[in-house]
Structure 1
Amino acid sequence: MRVVCPHCKSVNNIPQKESYKKAVCGKCKKSLLDTKPVELTDTNFDEVIVNSDIPVIVDFWAPWCGPCKMMGPNFEKSATNFPLKTLFAKVNTENEQNLGARFGIRSIPTIIIFKNGKEVHRASGALDENTLNNLVSQLI
């Protein structure tokens, strides 16, 4: 399966397994098991979404948004539960207004889940960690 490195954004082909003890990027040699959400911009968004065979969970947020700040830690904790099962990503709508407009983001935070390059689910409003985990589990 194709997986985008969370560090250098290069595409890696790795065998699909139930779990992984080790997985390293072929380009930057850093761990693909790093579950920290990646920052997406107008320049790398399409490349990451299209080149990920695993679902990509994107949090559209802004730094001034209270509910976004509340959900941020939940989003990061949830990411640790799905290494190489999903890629968690964030889009700062303050900096990336084109992406916000392109996806019709009317309220933040909004989570959009992409599978095979297509949007498969959308949820607006701050989600707690359990709700986010359940949502992701249903869609992987």
Structure 2
Amino acid sequence: MSDLLHVGCPHCKKMNRVPAQRLSDGPKCGACKGALAEGAVAELSDAEMPGYTGKSDLPVLVDFWASWCGPCKTMAPEFQSAAKSWRGQVAFAKVNTEQAQQASARFGIRSIPTLILFRNGKEIARQSGAMQASQLTAWLRTQLG
């Protein structure tokens, strides 16, 4: 029997059970049929955040951002690029601090962009400030070992 991983769909946010060895085979969401491990970035609301970060067997990297933030806009394509590089290993998500004010308050977001890395629903690392994809990858490698 293979190890099943709980992987959140970046499109509809539903959790899916996927055999670990099949993550690189392009699995599809059982609910919306969207690609699960293509490197897409999920956009999370206050209500979606706890389930997405807490139920995923993959580490989840969340970018807290705002539409008026220049560094956030600069980092957005870098974050997307890193998401594609880490597909199947780390789930990437964004939280708009203007819309998801409860999540922002709950995690004490004081500056943006702020990245928080979650494993099993618990924060394991945090980094503030814009980063290039290469810097983000180096930071993730350090945090995940």
TM class by shorter chain equals over 0.9
What TM-score, normalized by structure 1, do the two folds share? 0.94
Which range moved further: 11-20 or 63-72? 11-20
Q: Residue 126 of structure 2 aligns with which residue?
A: 122
- Asked if structure 1 preserves the Cα contact closer than 8 Å seen for 2:26 and 2:38, the reply is no
Deviations 1:82-119 (Å, cap 9, x if unpaired)?
11211100010011111111101111000000001100
**Is the 1:55–1:116 contact (alpha carbons within 8 Å) kept by the matching residues of 2?**
yes
Distance in 2, Cα, partners of 1:97 & 1:82: 28
**Structure-2 separation of matches of 1:126 and 1:100:** 17
Find the residue that maps to 1:48 and give its secondary structure. Answer: helix
Q: Which moved more, 1:113-122 or 1:33-42?
A: 33-42
Runs of 4+ off more than 4 Å: none
CA-based RMSD of the aligned residues comes to: 1.4
AA of the residue aligned to 1:73: P
Q: Which has the higher helix share?
A: 2
* Corresponding pairs, count: 140
Q: Percent identity?
A: 46
In structure 1, runs of 5+ residues without a counterpart are: none
Matched position secondary structure for 1:20: helix
TM-score (norm 2): 0.91
